[in-house]
Structure 1
Amino acid sequence: MTVCRDCCCGNPSKRPAVDHDGQLRRLREALTGRHRVRTSQCLDVCDQANVIVVHPTPATRRAGARPVWFGLVDAPAIDDDLIGWVLDGGPGVAPLPPILELSVVTAPAQ
């Protein structure tokens, strides 16, 4: 999982109602072991802050699974849904819960 933390995402002045540090801490505490939560600089979808990308495992990526991008991840309930989906297997393994479909955004063009 990649959590954007740059100009807009994770910025308390842009999203003051979100506990950005708490969100990152919660994701890292819940996704230990074989899961990795890392931060990145700007992912170029600033209008959708906070942005999180969930990556498939190497095996499921080889089988055709692709990363899923989520935007407006600004509530603990969304964090819970993301954590649950990742623990269930994430992209290429577990079906995307309908509630998370509402947060899917298009990755920027390369």
Structure 2
Amino acid sequence: MRETTDGEALGARAAARPVGGVPCRVVVCRDCCCGTSKVTGVDHAAQTARLRAGAPVRISACLDVCDQANVVVVQPSSAGRAAGARPVWFGLVNDPDATEDIVAWVRAGGPGVAPRPEILDLYAFTPPRRRPAP
């Protein structure tokens, strides 16, 4: 099995893709605050690996919401997008139970496909709007 640049096996990516569409994707911030020793008591590598078990994961530079570290964004699948779903941002994802709840939701279909578990409402937030570059 060939590997992609982020270490994910191509076969695993194909296996995660639902028939006829693009699966949910997870974006994990790992920059100045998220994924660093500034957020104590979290095994960041284990968290990323666990998220990868549920969906394709992209590691991002700073998402500019450092006060919410660790930040995880769940992007809807093509089916979720067709149903009108938008990405869902989660902040303060600093314990294994929160990570497991996100993984379970993504495996169930994620935004627009499966109802979001109420426990994840504790972590969901609306990111600030970014100003366009001048």
Stretches of 4+ aligned residues off by more than 4 angstroms: none
- State the one-letter code of the partner of 1:83: V
Choose from 107, 114, 117 the match for 1:87.
Answer: 107
Say if 2:80 and 2:110, in contact at 8 Å, map to a contact too: no
Q: Using the aligned pairs only, state the percent identity.
A: 60
CA distance in 2 between counterparts of 1:98 and 1:59 reads 22
- State the one-letter code of the partner of 1:15: V
> Aligned-pair distance for 1:16?
2.1
- State the one-letter code of the partner of 1:7: C
Choose from 32, 35, 42 the match for 2:62.
Answer: 42
- State the one-letter code of the partner of 1:8: C
> Aligned-pair distance for 1:59?
3.2
What residue in structure 1 maps to residue 82 of structure 2?
Answer: 62
Q: Which has the larger radius of gyration?
A: 2
Are 1:21 and 2:29 counterparts?
Answer: no
TM-score (norm 2): 0.75
Q: How many residues align?
A: 105
CA distance in 1 between counterparts of 2:114 and 2:33 reads 30
> Aligned-pair distance for 1:62?
3.2
TM-score (norm 1): 0.90
**Secondary structure, aligned partner of 2:89:** strand
> Aligned-pair distance for 1:106?
1.1
Greater relative contact order (Cα 8 A, min sep 6): structure 1 or 2?
A: 1
**Secondary structure, aligned partner of 1:38:** strand
Two-structure CA RMSD over aligned residues (Å)? 1.0
In structure 2, stretches of 5+ residues that fail to align are 1-25
